[in-house]
Chain A
């Protein structure tokens, strides 16, 4: 964002461009992705339960199909709640981003396109996760079955999340956005002077 606009916010920004040491968005992303991915995987495991039953028997692990669907449902619900915070912090940190403008990512995109796609994608994915939670909740309380169409959409979502997550990873890993050492190097300061 425009540096004069940022100044008007009167935030005490550190060397990483944020008012705190560690970006919050990537931390919350762990929760969104972990909960969402495991929710879909457990629903799939519930759907094909007869196939894996002998494996659990062999492992001596008591497994009930309905508890797999419970994991699918509650993990998804958790993901939906957490993702509001993930996207909220994401936008805050995106607005404070100050990436190099003369660089391209592994995917051939510059920083502005990567930020734009990752920001818009975040809103779309939040909407999709909430919609899937409503859909999943409806299935849970009306038919007690998880539909194959839901699982297929879930698998497609995993693909979208992979693309989206890689774009986000490139913002930190390639453009060095909110990476303290990258900022110091840019200013010609040795990152070895960072506190241990």
Chain B
């Protein structure tokens, strides 16, 4: 019955929402890191503030992204070649949710105690975070651009009765 409500992309709404929500995780995590680096070396507190607010937006957005992502993954035409990438992307997604939330909480404490300074340890861990987000963007891109999840011609070809 549910299948009747899905459109040609296999979704109950016109376009995938997950790739839109992730704008606010990807852009905000990267820009937050960029502002941290600039703020750290220029000793300009203003950049640290910009970084904090960007990180806070990322922390809120990532949970919305995970929930919508799970819904769209559940509705995706997952053929065997896709499964490992989708699993990896899912595990990374939940882990990054915890990671980003933790970093934001840490940032919140730093900002309350010493708003003028950023400990190098934070910058170090943030570097790891940026690398993991890179990897996650690559995995997610692969799902859409290589495997064609929720891409109309691919969804249609995967309909029961039509090969493969």
Residues on A close to B: CB < 8 A?
16, 21-23, 26-27, 29-31, 33-35, 37-38, 42, 61-62, 64, 67-68, 70-71, 74-75, 78, 100, 106, 165-166, 169-170, 172-176, 178-182, 185-186, 190-196
Contact = CB atoms under 8 A, between A and B. Distances in A.
A196 B79 CA distance: 11
A71 B81 contact: no
A170 B8 CA distance: 12
Contacts of B35: 74
Given A176-B148, A191-B154, A71 B54 contact: yes
Contacts of B99: none
Interface size class of B (residues with CB under 8 A): 35 or more
A33 B148 CA distance: 23
B157 A30 contact: no
B15 A194 contact: no
Given A30-B27, A71-B54, A191-B79, A181 B146 contact: yes
B151 A179 contact: yes
Given A67-B46, A176-B151, A192-B79, A34 B163 contact: no
Contacts of A23: 141, 145
B120 interface: no
Interface string B144-164: 111110111110010000011
B130 to A, nearest CB: 13
Nearest to B45: A67
Contacts of A176: 148, 151-154
A64 B163 CA distance: 59
B47 A74 contact: yes
Contacts of B80: 192
Nearest to B149: A181
Interface of B: 8-9, 14-16, 19-20, 22-24, 26-28, 30-31, 34-35, 46-47, 49-50, 53-54, 57, 79-81, 84-85, 108, 111-112, 137-138, 141-142, 144-148, 150-154, 157, 163-164
Contacts of B54: 38, 71, 75
B50 A179 contact: no
Nearest to B49: A67
A175 B148 CA distance: 11
Given A34-B26, A78-B34, A173 B150 contact: yes
A23 B144 CA distance: 10
A64 B115 CA distance: 13
Given A22-B146, A186-B153, 8 more contacts: A35-B27, A75-B50, A75-B54, A166-B15, A174-B152, A176-B148, A180-B147, A185-B148
B127 to A, nearest CB: 18
A74 B80 CA distance: 44
